[in-house]
């Protein structure tokens, strides 16, 4: 299997290559350092599975997954993140991702996850599967950010990550006034008053690093 990896940290990329080097049927064919680089390599290289960091410069997160899936609808995308699975995994799967792994467990789960998604399956870590089963059994109330639409969630995450309205508008190809409208909706749904409240909420719920 030909693997395309993308992460802005050289140490992480080296670690991923070391994990995959021990597998006789896996080969890293490309290393991207950011989301835009990953899209470019995805067009130029022949690959079977993409392994992407969730948070990178340029196009990232669910938007990067969507972009790659638009270009290569038949190829699976596996996402890695330092953030807990329960925080962003739902957004990844909605975007068309085939799996989500916390970086802390990558050494134990990565090769199994790649084989799972390469075979057409979806990979959910044992920890996330247990949490989902518990929520279904207890009918637990979802956190407020899970009530946001995909676009609202993306705007919320970018604001919490320190992006300004004009920057977000440029990234999402929308007008600043439209982003301001999404911002107002996010604040209303989350019961927040300003950006400081939003950042506090995001940190509390592990939505940002």
For 78, the 3-state DSSP assignment is strand
What are 41's two structure tokens? 């390599």
Local confidence pLDDT in tens for the 209 residues of the chain: 999 999 999 999 999 999 999 899 999 999 999 999 999 999 999 999 999 998 888 888 888 999 999 999 999 999 998 876 766 788 888 889 999 998 888 888 999 999 999 999 999 877 677 666 655 555 556 678 888 888 888 899 999 999 999 999 998 888 999 999 999 999 998 988 889 999 999 888 888 86
Of the CATH numbers 1.10.150.120, 3.40.630.30, 3.30.43.10, 1.10.10.10, which one belongs to the domain with range 144-204? 1.10.10.10
Question: Do 36 and 12 form a contact (C-beta atoms < 8 A)?
Answer: no
Question: Do 169 and 178 form a contact (C-beta atoms < 8 A)?
Answer: yes
pLDDT of residue 171: 86
Question: Do 64 and 96 form a contact (C-beta atoms < 8 A)?
Answer: no
Torsion angle (degrees, nearest 10) of CA 21, 23, 29, 30: -60
pLDDT of residue 151: 86
Torsion angle (degrees, nearest 10) of CA 114, 52, 101, 91: -120
What is the spatial distance between Cα 154 and Cα 67, in angstroms, rounded to a whole number? 14
pLDDT of residue 52: 94
pLDDT of residue 205: 83
CA 37 to chain centre: 16
What are the two backbone dihedrals, phi and then psi, of residue 15, each rounded to the nearest 5 degrees?
-65, -40
pLDDT of residue 12: 92
Answer whether CATH 3.50.50.60 is correct for domain 2-135.
no
Which residues, other chains included, contact 25 with Cβ-Cβ below 8 Å and sequence gap of 6+?
Answer: 1
* Domain locations in the chain as residue ranges: 2-135, 144-204
Which residues, other chains included, contact 166 with Cβ-Cβ below 8 Å and sequence gap of 6+?
Answer: 176
Asked if domains 2-135 and 144-204 share a fold, the reply is no
Q: Which of 195, 181, 23 is nearest to 115 (CA)?
A: 23
What is the spatial distance between Cα 84 and Cα 203, in angstroms, rounded to a whole number? 12
Question: Do 48 and 2 form a contact (C-beta atoms < 8 A)?
Answer: yes
Burial of 105 (0-12, 13-18, 19+ CB in 10 A): middle
pLDDT of residue 16: 94
């Amino acid at each position: 299997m030909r693997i395309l990896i993308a992460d802005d940290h050289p140490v992480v990329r080296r670690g991923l290559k070391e994990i995959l080097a021990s597998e006789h049927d896996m080969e890293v064919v490309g290393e991207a350092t950011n989301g835009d680089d990953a899209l470019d390599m995805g067009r130029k290289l022949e690959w079977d599975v993409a392994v992407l960091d969730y948070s990178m410069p340029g196009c990232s997160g669910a938007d990067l997954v969507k972009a790659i899936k638009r270009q290569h609808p038949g190829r699976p995308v596996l996402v890695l993140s330092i953030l807990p699975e329960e925080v962003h995994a739902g957004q990844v799967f909605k975007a068309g991702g085939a799996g989500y792994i916390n970086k802390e467990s990558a050494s134990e789960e990565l090769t199994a996850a790649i084989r799972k998604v390469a075979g057409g399956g979806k990979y959910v870590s044992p920890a996330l599967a247990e949490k989902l089963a518990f929520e279904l059994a207890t009918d637990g109330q979802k956190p407020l950010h899970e009530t946001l639409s995909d676009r609202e969630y993306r705007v919320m995450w970018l604001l919490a990550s320190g992006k300004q309205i004009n920057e977000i508008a440029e990234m999402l190809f929308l007008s600043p006034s439209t982003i301001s409208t999404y911002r107002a909706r996010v604040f209303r749904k989350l019961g927040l008053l300003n950006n400081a409240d939003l950042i506090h909420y995001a940190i509390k719920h592990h939505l940002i690093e």
